């Protein structure tokens, strides 16, 4: 798909990349009608998706220039350098936009946590239980107020919580 960039000049490629970054940063994105004679709608959407993904990944994961240029191997050198130059010039702006997007997911912030592992030997219903339980206390700051959350989890519930947190972390890392 990146070879489609070769249909415009390197100067126009720089302009397009700046407009893509503008869109990524919440400003006016590139207008399809400006490029309708150059690319079909499908090509246009694929190109925008690729450039948005490249800029987000490169900045969010701190990808080195060599790796960025490797992802642009289908494009001639002048176009690849144009994309890389826009990326480097607007790197901090992209980083701020990605952080803002990540932070907007929730205003709650984990301030502190405490945990205790307990062994439940019996209950009022079962005389011999021998079940490990994790007592987890979270101090969450939301809108300036500190709110304590306490929960007691068995092995399966803890496994589910850990899986959910890992999945959430993966999503956050993709947004960066």
Sign of CA dihedral 8, 13, 18, 23: positive
Cα–Cα nearest to 137, from 110, 160, 162 = 110
pLDDT(38) > 90: yes
Sheet of 131-142, strands arranged across: 109-120, 131-142, 145-153
pLDDT tier at 3, thresholds 50, 70, 90 = confident
How much is the pLDDT for 160? 95
Strand, coil or helix: 123: coil
Residue with tokens 């803890």: 158
Q: How confident is the model at residue 21, as a pLDDT? A: 97
Does the reported pTM lie above 0.75?
no
Q: Which two tokens stand for residue 47?
A: 């190109």
Q: What is the mean pLDDT of residues 13-24?
A: 96
- Looking at residue 124, the DSSP 8-state letter turns out to be S
Cα–Cα dist 113/136, whole Å: 7
Kindly tell me if the per-residue pLDDT of 94 is higher than 90. Answer: yes
Q: What are 53-82's pLDDT values in tens digits?
A: 999 999 988 899 999 999 999 999 999 999
Please answer whether residues 148 and 160 qualify as being in contact, where contact means their C-beta atoms are separated by less than 8 angstroms. no
Residue 9's pLDDT band (cuts 50, 70, 90): very high
Dump pLDDT digits (tens) for 101-133.
877 777 788 899 999 999 877 767 666 677 889
Share above pLDDT 90 across residues of the chain, in percent, rounded to a whole number:
68
| CA neighbor of 58 nearest in space, from 19, 98, 103, 25 | 98
Helices marked H in 29-76 — which ranges? 41-60, 65-71
Residue 97 to residue 22: CA distance in whole angstroms: 10
pLDDT band at 175 (very low <50, low <70, confident <90, very high): low
d(CA 109, CA 95): 20
């Amino acid at each position: 798909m990146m070879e489609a960039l070769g249909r415009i000049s390197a100067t126009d490629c720089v302009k397009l990349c700046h407009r893509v970054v503008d869109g990524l940063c919440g400003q006016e994105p590139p207008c399809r009608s400006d490029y309708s004679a150059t690319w079909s709608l499908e090509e246009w959407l694929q190109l925008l998706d690729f450039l948005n993904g490249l800029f987000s990944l490169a900045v969010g994961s701190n990808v080195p220039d060599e790796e960025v240029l490797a992802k642009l191997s289908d494009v001639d050198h002048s176009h690849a350098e144009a994309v890389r130059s826009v990326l480097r010039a607007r790197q901090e702006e992209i980083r701020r936009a990605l952080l803002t997007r990540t932070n907007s997911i929730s205003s709650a912030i984990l301030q502190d946590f405490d945990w205790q592992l307990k062994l439940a030997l019996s209950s009022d219903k079962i005389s011999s239980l021998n079940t490990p339980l994790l007592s987890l206390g979270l101090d969450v700051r939301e809108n300036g107020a500190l709110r304590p959350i306490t929960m007691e989890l068995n092995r399966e519930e803890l496994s589910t919580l850990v899986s959910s947190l890992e999945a959430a972390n993966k999503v956050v890392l993709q947004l960066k």
